[in-house]
Chains A and B, each alone.
Chain A
Amino acid sequence: MIAITRTSGWLAAAAALLVAVGAHAQAGKAPDALVKELSTDVLESVKVDKSIQAGDVKKVSALVDQKVMPYVDFRRMTASAVGRYWRQATPEQQKRLADEFKLLLVRTYSGALSQVSPEQTIEIKPMRSQPGDNEVVVRTEIRGKGDPIQLDYRLAKAADSWKIYDVNVLGVWLVENYRNSFAQEIGTNGIDGLVAKLAERNKAAATGGAKS
């Protein structure tokens, strides 16, 4: 380890190449490599963009659509938050649920991204998974000033590539955390009630955000 960092140039490059090739030889990219690349990419984009740091939801949305969404199984995310009611929803309701839920999460995400500071880096922790696993947890830490922030991802293998379906911030799985709230809302006001509630929340935050 020390030898690699010390030896300048080709050794490190060769090692990186080997890892990349090795990962490629399996199914697509390894999940931890994927998360590392993805989060580093997003972090770097945020560091150079002042309007994202200021919490511009539209800009964050664009960034998410371009860089993050290709690696997220958003249908599964929504289905998992909606739980057993998902199957009762019509395709149209499912789509509206997914759209509103996405907006809600993007707003959360933009709030988090506005906290990014220049000295922050991502550290990937060792994975505890078997080679044949179809679902894995990738653990990362954002390190900068103050305590490191725990940020973990659940990924599932879909065909040839890995896709994220839940994110853990400081010990709390975000999608999982919505399950009871969603069930509660559907229980009282039905699926359309939940869609309306999500839309109302998004709208309120949008106007509230403009004020502050």
Chain B
Amino acid sequence: MHFTRGLTGGLLALALVGCTTIQAARGGPGQRLDPWENWNRKVFNFNEDLDRAVLKPVATAYTDVVPQLVRRSVGNFYNNFADAWSAINNLAQGKFSAGFDDVTRVSTNTLFGLFGLLDVASELGLDHHYEDFGQTLGRYGVGAGAYIVLPLFGPSTVRDAAAIPVDRLASPPAFFNGTGTQVSLTALQIVNTRASLLGATRVIDDIALDKYTFIRDAYLQRRRSLVFDGYEAETPPPSDGAPADAAGSAASPAAPAPLASAGPASGPASAGSAPAR
């Protein structure tokens, strides 16, 4: 167990050493997690335009036409697959209790919830655990690496982007034959998810000073929290958002370099953000 753990972690760490060297080469404080900001902003704008022109209108129309009950059932159907994949990831991370919860969820919803259309398990008090492959990698010490905005897929990191193909192998389209079916399943999933996020994106439009930065920082924070199941940020992080995660354990050999170079910048920052009195 321990041996395989170490081996997997080590291999994956090796695979991502590339990102840590990039990190060492980076400059100013805000830049550390986002060395490709210029490129990322372009892709971000492309995604935003595409969303405004196509996805959002479609999702809005979908919300107007399709009753909420049906939308929820569609969501449940996809979530049932996500639960099964989550079970595997939980077990792979050694989180057996959560893993068996997921197994129970999938079997309950498949058998008694019309193949996953109804979420009977939640009604019974069994909560989701949603673990994906990116989180499993993170659990084994793979640092998130640099922030990257993917066309269509949106915010990600080097680690999470590398995990996407593996996650897709466990998503509904992979279990059905025929390109037409697969495309429709994927499209429905995207539209249904976007529809469920209409409210959230409206809020972000309202409260973000710079949407790109706001979403980037929220994404990085949320993923970090998910990897550690919310128990990593017990103590407030260094005030300038030092690379607590990007220079995670996998990156530790390279960590001193970025830390040292950030020294002059982070010094006054930590003094300034303490309650001023």
Which B residues are in CB contact (< 8 Å) with A150?
Answer: 230
Q: Is the CB of B206 within 8 A of A208?
A: yes
Q: Answer whether residue A131 sits at the interface, using C-beta atoms and an 8 A cutoff.
A: no
Q: Answer whether residue B65 sits at the interface, using C-beta atoms and an 8 A cutoff.
A: no
Smallest CB-CB separation from A89: which chain B residue? B276
Q: Is the CB of A179 within 8 A of B209?
A: no
Q: Answer whether residue B268 sits at the interface, using C-beta atoms and an 8 A cutoff.
A: yes
Interface of A is mostly: helix
Q: Interface digits, B96-136 against A, CB 8 Å rule (1 contact, 0 not)?
A: 00000000000000000000000000100001100000000
Within B44-68, the residues touching A (CB, 8 Å) are none
Q: Is the CB of B203 within 8 A of A181?
A: no
Interface size class of A (residues with CB under 8 A): 35 or more
Q: Answer whether residue B226 sits at the interface, using C-beta atoms and an 8 A cutoff.
A: yes
State how many residues of chain B have any CB contact under 8 Å with chain A: 42
Q: Is the CB of B203 within 8 A of A80?
A: no
Q: Answer whether residue A172 sits at the interface, using C-beta atoms and an 8 A cutoff.
A: yes
Number of A-B residue pairs, CB cutoff 8 Å, is 122
Q: Interface digits, A47-91 against B, CB 8 Å rule (1 contact, 0 not)?
A: 000000000000000000000000001011001101111110000
Q: Interface digits, A76-114 against B, CB 8 Å rule (1 contact, 0 not)?
A: 100110111111000000000000000010011001100
Q: Answer whether residue B176 sits at the interface, using C-beta atoms and an 8 A cutoff.
A: no
Q: Is the CB of B276 within 8 A of A177?
A: no
Q: Answer whether residue A191 sits at the interface, using C-beta atoms and an 8 A cutoff.
A: no
Distance of A152 Cα from B235 Cα, bound (Å) = 13
* Set B122, B202, B207, B235: member contacting A104, Cβ < 8 A: B207
> 7 shortest A-B CB distances, which residue pairs?
A171-B225, A84-B272, A84-B269, A171-B222, A76-B275, A181-B209, A205-B206
